[in-house]
A and B are shown apart, each in its own frame.
Chain A
Amino acid sequence: MQHQNQPHFSADAPTTPCAGPTVTFSSAAADHKRGKKRGSYNCGRCGLPKKGHNCHTSTTTTTTTTTTDTTTTSSPIINTPTSRADSSVSLSSTRPPPPRQPYTHLRRALSFDDDVRAGFPEPEPEVEEEEQEEEDFGYPSMDPEPGALPASCLWEILRRLPPAGLLSAARVSKSWRETSKRLWKAAEELRLRVPARAQVGFVGSVLQKCPGLVRLSLRMESDLDATMLACIAFSCPNLEFMEILKSDTAINRINGDELGRFVADKRCLKSLKMEGCSNLGGFVLCSSSLSTLWLSDLYSLSKMVFNCPNLKEISLEFYRQENDSTDLTTMVDGLGRNCLRLQNIHIASVRLSHSAVLALTAANLRGLRMLSLVLGSEITDASVAAIASSYPNLELLDLSGSSISDSGIGMICNVFPETLSRLLLALCPNVTSSGIQFATAQLPLLELMDCGMTICDPNSQNGIPDESSDWELRNTANHLIYQKLIIKHGRLKKLSLWGCSGLDALYLNCPELNDLNLNSCKNLHPERLLLQCSKLESVHASGCQELLIGTIESQVR
């Protein structure tokens, strides 16, 4: 787990390697070798270490815990959203990537599911490579010398090696070279870390060994530009899933035209995920095969055309800067016109506004089930009304960072009780404990609720600078009084109250509750805590009073 000072009363999260036929293996040794810190593998969507974390998948599979996300950054989390002043950017065509902002951890909601994730369990070190072969094939029929391994056994060993190991293995002997060549040819999935000093042709030469590749994930520690795209396009004709992650120091120089060309040419590409998209500038994406698109670190896009009729899932994360000139309303409008099959939408931008929401609600996205519009302080209760009337069947709603108030919650509870299972309202300063309690009382299907940083200590000046007009209302309602929360819910599995420093009493009667995040609930009084949750496995309580931790321990055991 991330912080040593954080008591985890949980059984370890199951750390099974990836489910399915892919082979993963612990590369802790490799970590040390490369001098990587664990946790340097950041999710592009929320900037958090990627462990136990899955940002955006389609409905079936995996889980991440909000708590995992927030715990990993529990200390730096409580920041006020200020615009980043540090990227003294000269607007040349490339710019160094601004440091990752602690706020984008908000982005994590859309993928939640009930079962524990089998993909990136938290303690597991970075997966560096997986190779997967699904085809049967005839092993070379040469007789091994007595005592030597038959080819099938050698295959079993070699397929568990990381890419570097496999390349070394080819040098051992001729039969090893043969077997490793066959392994490459059979590989359908490859995850490769591209080191900082890698030569340009490096990735190309590796990719050429595996022409059957269907899934590719590159973690770039060196800079990235269109030659990489060309290389991938050339070497991997059957590529369907592509993911480009990048370290903090690498720069992604790909521009919008280049990306557009790549997407248009790759006729079977189904999923594209890319980080560090600050140099895109604008793009036109045309693809009838694309169904998942995640772009992060977007900035000042002049035009965006999404000509992708089969797009089901989209995630667009913008840099948190006030001078971002992207016209979100037009963009959303375009999405609504062209991508009628959208089911999951996630947009993270401080410039999200009510008019962007209206553009969305004007569209006819019949399949929309997960909607996440975060960081937009200009999103108000009126926006909630619009969403509720156009899309009454949402299963996930994330309006973290917005200005919605308890009456917005009221509207949510009016419209969505039969479908909503995940509600995220972190960093909504106008939400109070009564709103939260109302939500838990009125939404019977709720399984995940995130109210981080909503109930803030009114006595300290720690609160978020509040731009909404309800500031006064909130102030008078809460001043000098801590709040208490009583939640009784039969299905709730994950509850996050991180940063709720205005909370001093908590009573939970949730028999299905599995994960509870109380990080930085520093005013939560040990004698006013009652947990009646028989299935509780994880409680995160860093930053809480010492006695509280003891109380939790005694109540959970």
Chain B
Amino acid sequence: MKFCTVKQYFDDENNNNVTNGIATTVIPLPNKHLKIKANNKEMEQYEQELLRNVMPQELTKLILAANYLNFKEALDFFCRTVANAIQNKSVDYVRKFFGLESDFEPGEEEKLCKEFAWSFEGVDED
């Protein structure tokens, strides 16, 4: 059952997790999924289109929504997208993307950086 949470969602008054805008994006997904489940290519196209209109920062919210709604395919898809978006980027880019701040002590980050210097080669421009 993909949508056990949805029923609850509608019954539930307290909806911090899912704003309306997000809900309108996520909820129609299963129908679409089912309709074009057989055809991978169409699905990809659909997903690409969907994402073109979505700001990177919104992806985080989409993930939260998908998580809350317990919707595995959407969660997988959004997470994959985010992973692809950040996989080759600098640490600062990633922080900006998620709106995070570094909470490391000054020495700690230095250490981490040195440990695996090789992995930071060839990182994309921000």
Contact = CB atoms under 8 A, between A and B. Distances in A.
A29 B84 contact: yes
B122 A34 contact: yes
B112 A33 contact: no
B104 A150 contact: no
B113 A202 contact: no
Interface stretch (A162-170, A223-231, A346-354): A162-170
Contacts of A167: 116, 119
A182 to B, nearest CB: 16
A408 B14 CA distance: 78
Contact of B63 (A153, A169, A177, A199): A153
Nearest to B83: A160
B57 to A, nearest CB: 10
A184 to B, nearest CB: 12
B27 interface: no
A394 to B, nearest CB: 37
A438 interface: no
A172 interface: yes
B67 A153 contact: yes
Interface string A154-176: 00111011111101111111101
Contact of B99 (A147, A163, A197): A147
B79 A157 contact: yes
B103 interface: yes
Interface stretch (B3-11, B28-36, B45-53, B90-98): B90-98
Contacts of B80: 25, 160
A173 B102 contact: yes
Contacts of B98: 148-149, 172
A23 B83 CA distance: 12
Interface in B58-115: 60, 63-64, 67, 75-76, 79-80, 82-84, 86-91, 94-95, 98-104, 109, 112-113, 115
Contacts of A170: 112
A171 B104 CA distance: 9
A249 interface: no
A199 B117 CA distance: 10
Contact of A174 (B79, B90, B104, B123): B104
A169 B123 CA distance: 13
A27 to B, nearest CB: 8
Given A174-B103, A199-B118, A156 B91 contact: no
Contact of A171 (B40, B79, B91, B121): B91
A149 B60 contact: yes
A167 B90 CA distance: 11
B118 A148 contact: no
A29 B116 contact: no
Q: How large is the interface on B (under 10, 10 to 19, 20 to 34, 35 or more residues)?
A: 35 or more
A165 B83 contact: yes
A33 B100 contact: no
A452 B18 CA distance: 60
Contacts of A149: 60, 63-64, 98
A202 B100 contact: no
A195 interface: yes
Nearest to A175: B103
B102 A172 contact: yes
Nearest to A158: B83
Contact of B118 (A33, A150, A162, A195): A195
B86 A156 contact: no
A33 B124 contact: yes
A471 to B, nearest CB: 51
Nearest to B61: A147
B103 A33 contact: no
Nearest to A162: B87
Contacts of A171: 91, 104, 109, 112-113
A23 to B, nearest CB: 9
Contacts of A459: none
A153 B62 CA distance: 11
Nearest to A128: B87
Contacts of B120: 164, 168
In order of increasing CB-CB distance, the 6 nearest A-B pairs are A160-B83, A164-B119, A165-B87, A156-B79, A167-B119, A167-B116
15 contacts: A14-B40, A16-B40, A147-B99, A150-B67, A153-B79, A156-B67, A160-B83, A165-B86, A168-B119, A169-B94, A171-B91, A173-B103, A176-B100, A199-B118, A205-B115
Interface of B: 40, 60, 63-64, 67, 75-76, 79-80, 82-84, 86-91, 94-95, 98-104, 109, 112-113, 115-116, 118-124
Given A33-B88, A161-B83, A171-B104, 15 more contacts: A14-B40, A153-B63, A158-B83, A161-B86, A163-B119, A164-B120, A165-B88, A168-B91, A169-B86, A172-B91, A172-B95, A173-B101, A174-B104, A177-B112, A205-B115
